[in-house]
């Protein structure tokens, strides 16, 4: 089985496994106690904190360990906002942040705060000018991921940090996806990360709060981890997490070159091997191991099952693979095709032969799914009335787009197709189909149920 979902979680690094087993016998005691066993545990915890600080690029007393990356985000956002409550109650985030950040923003808004979402371009990157425009006198905190978890686009953190610093606003960076590849540059104020992203044990998060950043712990205050992460520290897991971070960092430069070549191979060859595919994310400013593409006329869940049967573990941001039946907020913010979405995220050590086999298997898997869904093989040649109505109410991704494609050739140049749909994905995928096909997306009109999406034939 080829595991191509490293952006979700990475198998335990061999160094982490060794460190975990070695520290189980030494790090079980309470590090707050003064007797011998407590001192041994404290030495392990202090050494791990020093090593983590070195990897992050901050002081050891600025680092605390949490129970997860999500907990680090929630604690960091809440503490930074509370610490600057006298300044105001305005929070800035990008539209493509991890759900943990967006959930924190929802809680803040429900409590009376205000939130501005900075849009991204079609490659998934923010413009620092967007953050500059969003800053206000009452802005308490800005948040930006270092790199996107779904499409791999690297964000201009240093430039955004400079804009925020000039305005006196702290910037929290979610570095979960990138910290294993290197430190985050720029004058950020807070940083979060998650160990299972770089081969450490799950259940270990990291929160760095630089000196000078106002921070007020929310909830009951514990005497552990500077009061910022309550509960008994899982010292063996923390030691293993930091050991794996140092290990992957030592290999990062060389491995990044190799993985970039493999992902570039996928980016270049998938559109040649599979018709009607959109490769998404920035082609240059991206993480080494992530490549994402979307396939027209494909049910994402069905495609993932086909690839799983062929021995490949990949993930998807398609609405037809989610319980909410809505497309990924990242793909939606980028304005790219969401149906048939596949994210390939290669772990360190991914074999070239597995990548080649994936490229061999993919065309057949996509073709099989399209055939089952009755996707059009080629545009119809006949011409009929000037407007065609397609009723796709009650039908889910990718059926509305398939039905659009089947009838589109029936209208003359200048004619329109009106697609009725109550599927949220249609709002994203029909305009994306128009851009891929060189046709005009006229717009969305209200309907008794759902909406009517109007497309005009240009050629």
Distance CA 163, CA 302 (A): 44
DSSP secondary structure letters along 191-231 = EEEEGGGTTS-TT-EEEEE-TT------SSPPSSGGGTS-S
Contacts of 353 (CB under 8 A, 6+ apart): none
Distance CA 27, CA 31 (A): 8
Q: Which of 58, 295, 320, 434 is catalytic?
A: 320
For residues 346 and 5, is the Cβ–Cβ distance under 8 A? no
Task: Put the strands of the sheet holding 190-194 in their side by side order.
Answer: 63-66, 205-209, 190-194, 171-174, 139-145, 90-94, 114-118
* Closest among 125, 194, 120, 117 to 157, alpha carbons compared: 125
Q: What are 422's two structure tokens?
A: 């109550």
> Which ranges of 84-192 does DSSP label H, i.e. alpha helix?
99-110, 128-134, 157-166
Active site residue 397: no
Q: What are 365's two structure tokens?
A: 């898997």
Q: Other CB atoms closer than 10 Å to residue 361's CB: what's the count?
A: 17
- What is the CA 60 to chain-centroid distance, rounded? 28
Q: What are 161's two structure tokens?
A: 């940090």
Q: Which residue has the tokens 């300044």?
A: 87
Residues designated catalytic? 320
């Amino acid at each position: 089985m080829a595991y191509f979902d490293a952006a979700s979680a990475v198998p335990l690094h061999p160094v982490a496994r060794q460190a975990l087993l070695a520290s189980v016998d030494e790090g079980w005691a309470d590090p707050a106690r003064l007797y011998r066993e407590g001192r041994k545990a404290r030495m392990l915890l202090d050494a791990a904190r020093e090593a983590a600080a070195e990897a992050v690029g901050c002081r050891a007393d600025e680092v605390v360990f949490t129970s997860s990356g999500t907990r680090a985000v929630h604690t960091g956002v809440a503490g930074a906002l509370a610490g600057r409550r006298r300044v105001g109650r305005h929070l800035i985030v990008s539209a493509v942040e991890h759900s943990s950040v967006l959930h924190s923003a929802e809680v803040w808004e429900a409590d009376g705060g205000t939130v501005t979402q900075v849009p991204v371009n079609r490659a998934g990157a923010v413009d620092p000018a967007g953050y500059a425009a969003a800053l206000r006198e009452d802005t308490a905190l800005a948040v930006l991921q270092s790199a996107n978890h779904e499409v791999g686009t690297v964000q201009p953190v240093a430039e955004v940090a400079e804009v925020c610093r000039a305005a006196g606003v702290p910037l929290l960076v979610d570095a979960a996806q990138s910290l294993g590849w290197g430190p985050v540059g720029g004058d950020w104020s807070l940083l979060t990360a998650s160990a299972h992203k770089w081969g450490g044990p799950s259940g270990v998060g990291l929160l760095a709060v630089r000196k000078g950043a106002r921070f007020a712990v929310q909830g009951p205050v514990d005497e552990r981890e500077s009061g910022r992460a309550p509960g008994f520290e899982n010292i063996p897991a923390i030691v293993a997490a930091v050991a794996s971070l140092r290990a992957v960092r030592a290999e990062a430069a060389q491995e990044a070159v190799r993985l970039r070549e493999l992902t570039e191979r996928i980016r270049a060859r998938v559109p040649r091997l599979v018709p009607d595919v959109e490769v998404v994310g920035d082609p240059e400013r991206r993480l080494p191991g992530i490549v994402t593409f979307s396939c027209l006329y494909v049910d994402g869940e069905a495609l993932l099952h086909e690839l799983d049967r062929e021995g490949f573990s990949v993930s998807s941001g398609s609405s037809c693979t989610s319980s909410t039946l809505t497309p990924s907020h990242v793909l939606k913010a980028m304005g790219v095709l969401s149906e048939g979405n596949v994210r390939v995220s290669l772990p360190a050590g991914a074999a070239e032969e597995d990548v080649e086999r994936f490229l061999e298997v993919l065309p057949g898997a996509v073709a099989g799914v399209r055939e089952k869904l009755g996707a059009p093989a080629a545009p119809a040649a006949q011409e009929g009335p000037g407007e065609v109505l397609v009723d796709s109410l009650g039908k889910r991704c990718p059926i509305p787009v398939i039905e659009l494609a089947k009838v589109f050739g029936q209208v003359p140049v200048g004619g329109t197709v009106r697609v009725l749909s109550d599927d949220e994905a249609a709002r994203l995928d029909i305009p994306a189909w128009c851009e891929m096909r060189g046709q005009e997306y006229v717009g969305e009109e209200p309907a008794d149920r759902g909406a009517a999406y109007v497309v005009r034939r240009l050629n």
